[in-house]
Amino acid sequence: MKEYDIYVPRNYNDGSPVEKEKLKRVKQLLTDEFGGVTQIRLGKRGWWRMGAVIFRDKIDIFRVFGGNTRRARGFLRRLKEHLKDDLSQEEILIVEKEAKFL
């Protein structure tokens, strides 16, 4: 079993908020594919550098679990490309971890 965390910015690079409907759509796509999703809204910010510019993001983490790694990775690659385009991002971070249920 794998755990996947998809880091989605809540603001565009110009500081304007991402439309709530776009975040709801991400939640729906993940629920449809993985059967459920946990949306973690952090009061924290992330910082990252691109060239000489430092960006600051507020993020939501969407967490899902999947048993079929090949299928999950294919889906998440497509989702990542969609989110990069839809949210005007250079990159979307997706983290894969081993998960064991106790």
Q: Which domains, ranges and CATH numbers included, belong to the chain?
A: 2-98 (3.30.70.120)
One digit per residue, the tens of pLDDT, for the chain of length 102 reads 999 999 999 999 888 999 999 999 999 999 999 999 999 987 666 666 667 766 667 889 999 999 999 999 999 999 999 999 999 998 899 999 999 988
pLDDT value of position 102? 87
Query: What gap in Å lies between CA 57 and CA 63, rounded to an integer?
Result: 18
Question: Which candidate, 93, 94, 87, places its Cα nearest to that of 17?
Answer: 87
- Please state, in angstroms and rounded to a whole number, the distance separating the CA atoms of residues 25 and 45: 22
Q: Which two tokens stand for residue 68?
A: 């079929």
